Structure 1
C-alpha cells in the first residue's frame, strides 16, 4: 500500500514519536514496514519515517543505494586513492535511540519528501552510534558513518519532531517561511501522493 506523504505544517511532523509496543503482532509490523518501503520507492526517496505517513511511532526505513552509487570517474578516483566505496544500506529501524554523534560536521544539500521543492545545506556529524531493533525485533547497537549516518540522522530527527529546515539559520528560515506555508496549502509541484494539512482531503 502506498501512503500519501504528510506535508510540512501537519502537527504529526512536530510531535515526538512513541515507541512501538513489544506485543505488536509481527504481521502488522511487517506490513507497515513493507508499505513504508513501497511508499518511499514510489516517491523516489532514500529514507522515510513513520510520522511522514501520519503515524507517530518510532520507525523509519532507509535505502542509501541511490546516494552511494558511483559513476566511472568516481570509481576510478576511489581506486586510485585506495579508499573503499561506501556500501549501500537497506534497513528498517524500530524504536531507535541515538547513542552518540561524533566526528567533524560536514555539509550536504538535503531535501525531504514532506517538503517538496526545497533543498538546503545541512551540517551533520560524520559518525553515529545507534541502538535499535530490526524487523524481527532483535536489538542492535551499531556504528554508522558517511552517507548512511546522514540519512539515519535525518530520519531519526523526524521521530523527534525535527525537520531539516529547523536546523537552518534564522535568516534562512525567514526566507523559507512563505514557501513552507504555501506547501502546507498544497501550492507546490509534486509527483507522488501527498496530504496537505491546510487543505482537507487534498492529495
Structure 2
C-alpha cells in the first residue's frame, strides 16, 4: 500500500512517520508541498513539525499551498488522511476536520507522555483499538488546545477520536486531542503515534494507527 507523507519547509517528523509506516508494512514516499497530483497514493499522512515556522499561526501558510488541493482530491476519492500535530492544525485550518487547535491554556510548549482514551474506533486509524481503550503516546505542541462551537454535534456524530485520559495539559474543550470528519476517514490528532511505534521508545501503542491504514 502506497502512503504519501507530505513535506513542508519546517516539517520535522516526516522521517519518523516514514519509519513507522514501514514497520506497519506500508510503502511510504515523500510528497513536497508544491505537488498537486496525489492519485498514486492510497492514503496520506501529514506529519508534525513547524510548517513555515508557524508564522501567523500554526498551519496557516501550509493551508494555501498547492498540495492542499491534492489532499482535498484524496478526500473526495474516499481515501484515508491522517494529520499529526502540525498536520492536525493544517487539516483544521483548511476545514477538513471541525474546530480549531489554538494556543495552549498556559502559553508554553508542552512536551510529555500522555495517557489517552480512544473515544471512537470507527476511523481507519483507530479501528484496531477497543473503544475507550487507554493508550500511551507523547504530545509536543504549543498550539494544541482544541475548541469548537459544535461540541454536541461532535459527540452525537461520534467525531471525537482521542481524549486525554488523565490531566488535560493544554486546556482543550472536553479534553479532546483528536477529531475526525463526519465520514471518519480524515483524522486529526495532536499526539504523536509515530513516536510510540516501538517499545524501545517507551510505548508501541501508536503503531496500530499505521497498521490500521493497511487493514482498512
Q: TM-score range by the shorter chain?
A: 0.3 to 0.5
Relative CO higher for 1 or 2, CA cutoff 8 Å, sep ≥ 6?
Answer: 1
Give the TM-score normalised by structure 1: 0.34
Q: Please identify which structure carries the higher helix content.
A: 1
